[in-house]
Chain A
Amino acid sequence: MVDARTLLAAALGLLLGAVCLVAPGAVVRVQTAGRRPTGRDGKYGTDAVPNRWRRLVQVVGVGLVVAGAYFGYLALG
């Protein structure tokens, strides 16, 4: 029988992983808004995120996609 929670973990993990890969800056902004000043990468008046942070979130995104695929395999395999 398919475990609904494991399947949900797979689906939402893949979704969050995709967001991290496609819009890493948005993920950083969600975590840092109201906690760190914006414009740190030289764009005063914007909320641009430094590239090394974006890359770090994309690495996390890859991890989430792998974990999501693993849980998908467990639920359906």
Chain B
Amino acid sequence: MRHLGLKARMAVVGSILFAFYAVAAVVVMAVFDWPLALVLIGSVAFVGVQYKLGKWMALRSVGAEDLPEERAPDLHRRVESLSRDMGIDKPRLMIASMGVPNAFAVGRKGAGTVVVSQELLRTLDDAEVEGVLAHELAHIRNRDVVMMVLGQGVASIVAIVAQWAVLLTGDNDIADFFLAIVVGQLTQMLVMLFVFAISRYREYVADGDAADAIGTGEPLARALEKISRGAERRESTVDDQAAALCIFGDRGGLASLLSTHPPVEKRIERLRG
């Protein structure tokens, strides 16, 4: 059975998210007198809009453009071959000028899109680019994007319901409005703790799948190493002033619990392990 560890973790996190959602649904049914069907339809519509809007916004935020086959025949051939090996339809391939080496996947299995930055193609050699592409294709195959949108959708619904519960039970004074906003934000954070825990594990799974698809984890490990070294160099010259503004830094403790990705060093270690 493939990805048994992931399935077991998904069962646990899925149950926790369902419990949060069920409480929110019961509150909505009790307070607004909505039938269950309306709550379910509303929830599906909410998550559906988030999915569509999120995909559109992600592509638009980086100014992604279609990468025609005649402009990058080699890249298209590699994506086609990797997609075949991984048992998915070839995704739409797009390119963007992001100012930094980057790549990401949006969409779902059968309707996925992979965006690569021009800087990524300039920074990495062919084997490293293939490692990155295989990792992004693994995200599409494992439905990681959909899972993140679904998790964010549940967290948003629970947060909105918590916010309204505070507002409707209060005196509508300024302290109640403040309390409602704060409770909404803290509730969303609490739910996202579980979503992020599974997301970090999914990154390792996508790394492992990429290594399986190309036969070795070394190219992806090299790519991660090269990009993170480049980012460190940029940070050390540009961000000293910014770092001084960070009171306790943004690593470790709560920050690492609220991370979508595991530390790069650990990923490289596993890819080479």
Contacts and interface: CB of A to CB of B under 8 A. Distances in A.
Main secondary structure of the interface of B (DSSP, over half): helix
Interface string A20-62: 0111111101110111111111111111110100110010000
Contact of B264 (A26, A34, A37, A46): A46
A69 interface: no
Interface residues of A, number: 45
A1 to B, nearest CB: 14
Contacts of B255: 22-23, 25-26
Contacts, number: 161
Given A6-B175, A13-B178, A19-B189, A36 B261 contact: no
Contact of B175 (A36, A39, A54, A71): A71
Nearest to A52: B242
B100 A39 contact: yes
A15 B260 CA distance: 22
Which are the 6 A-B pairs with shortest beta-carbon distances? A42-B100, A26-B258, A34-B152, A9-B179, A34-B148, A37-B104
Interface of B: 50, 53-54, 57-58, 61-62, 98-104, 106, 115, 120, 132, 145, 148-149, 151-153, 155, 170-171, 175-176, 178-179, 182-183, 185-186, 188-189, 192, 195-196, 199, 223-224, 227-228, 230-231, 234, 239, 242, 245-248, 250, 253-255, 257-261, 263-264, 267
Interface of A: 3, 5-6, 8-9, 12-13, 15-16, 19, 21-27, 29-31, 33-49, 51, 54-55, 58, 64, 67, 71, 74
